Amino acid sequence: MKVIFAYGGQTETPDWTIPLQQALPEIELFHWQPDAPTRGAEAAIVWNPPADLLRQEPGVRTLLNLGAGVDALLRLEGLSDDIQVVRLEDAGMAVQMAEYAAHALVRAAREFDHYEEFQKTAQWRRLPDIRRRDWPVGVLGMGVMGIKVAQVLAALDYPVAGWSRSAKSLPGVASYAGDEGLPAFLARTRVLVNTLPLTDQTRNFLSRETLGQLLPGGYLINMARGEHLVEEDLLDLLDSGHMGGATLDVFRTEPLPPDHPFWRHPRITVTPHIAAASLREESIAQIVRNVGRLLRGEPLSGVVSRRRGY
């Protein structure tokens, strides 16, 4: 079986292809090259593939994504319904997402920004102790990422709830589900952590309407996709004082343009889409297992539902 490797339009990524080829001697792995003749690939291993991938290789019937989110992949030109899209499951990312959320939450709740300021003027000054019950956390999306985030924050003794399409049963984490569960979930939440996939249902989800229902002093941690957030609504809610701050890892336009107001906003922290990186060894191991299943005609793990969009 021939498999094409296309990583963000780059033609050389030996770090990944050499171990993949070594682990899978039964496949012929080749790099995508712009304007190359069709090689007859049946599967493709991709991250941000070039738009003409499927035109160049029309025989591809399986796309193995080197990331968890498949929103960009589902917009790929020529993606017919009979092509299966497969994502990475965890691959070392969930614990990093949890770490990122924990860092942002603890920094806000324990007021570490203030202590940083005090240090600049050598002030030995103690702020009032916090009460965890004043910082209830709500995790949007209780999949591979959301569950780990919720578990880690609950282990720090913050009151934690999760919201997803279907209800979950997780010790120490309250579960809210579907449209019916949303108002109560938002009304008990101060720190909202987003781990939803980007779909037609979740685009622009973080808006005046939803963020406006958070407890006063609300705080947003967006680690999922920039298109979830209506940017002007967040800025308005920060200006009005309803929201206390935000930590944002993902943006509608990446890289975030230098003149974007988020860069200089005193209560917004920006990071460059680094909440979690798929770990090379674990990712390669997952791809190898799935290609093995493909060769044996078995169902793959991590297949995306085209109907749900995740």
Name the residues that contact ligand NDP, by CB under 6 A.
68-69, 93, 141-146, 164-166, 195-199, 201-202, 223-225, 249-250, 273, 275-276, 310
| Residue 265 annotated among the catalytic residues of the structure | no
Least distance CB 110 / ligand NDP (angstroms): 23
Contact 92, 308 (CB under 8 A): no
Sheet strands (E) in 1-136: 2-7, 28-31, 43-47, 62-65, 84-86
Contact 193, 221 (CB under 8 A): yes
Least distance CB 54 / ligand NDP (angstroms): 21
Q: Which of 110, 252, 265, 273 is catalytic?
A: 273
Q: How far apart are CA 56 and CA 32, in angstroms?
A: 9
Least distance CB 88 / ligand OXD (angstroms): 7
Least distance CB 46 / ligand OXD (angstroms): 12
Scanning residues 272 to 301, which ones bind ligand OXD (CB under 6 A)?
A: 278
Of 68, 97, 147, 161, the residue at the interface with ligand OXD (CB under 6 A) is: 68
Q: Which is nearer to ligand OXD, 72 or 79 (CB)?
A: 72
Of 69, 138, 146, 162, the residue at the interface with ligand OXD (CB under 6 A) is: 69
| Residue 280 annotated among the catalytic residues of the structure | no
Q: Which is nearer to ligand OXD, 49 or 69 (CB)?
A: 69
Most distant CA pair in the chain, distance: 68
Q: Which is nearer to ligand NDP, 51 or 277 (CB)?
A: 277
Give the C-alpha distances (Å, rounded to integers) separating 141 from 70, 150, 273, 307, 310.
Answer: 15, 10, 18, 17, 11
Candidates 123, 191, 201; CA nearest to 162 is 191
Q: Which is nearer to ligand NDP, 33 or 84 (CB)?
A: 84
Candidates 195, 99, 95, 182; CA nearest to 140 is 195
The reply on whether position 67 binds ligand OXD by CB under 6 A is yes
Q: Which segments of the chain does DSSP mark as H helices, in order?
A: 14-23, 53-56, 93-109, 112-120, 144-155, 178-187, 208-211, 231-240, 261-264, 280-296
Q: Which residues are known catalytic residues?
A: 225, 273
Q: Which residues bind ligand OXD (CB under 6 A)?
A: 67-69, 278
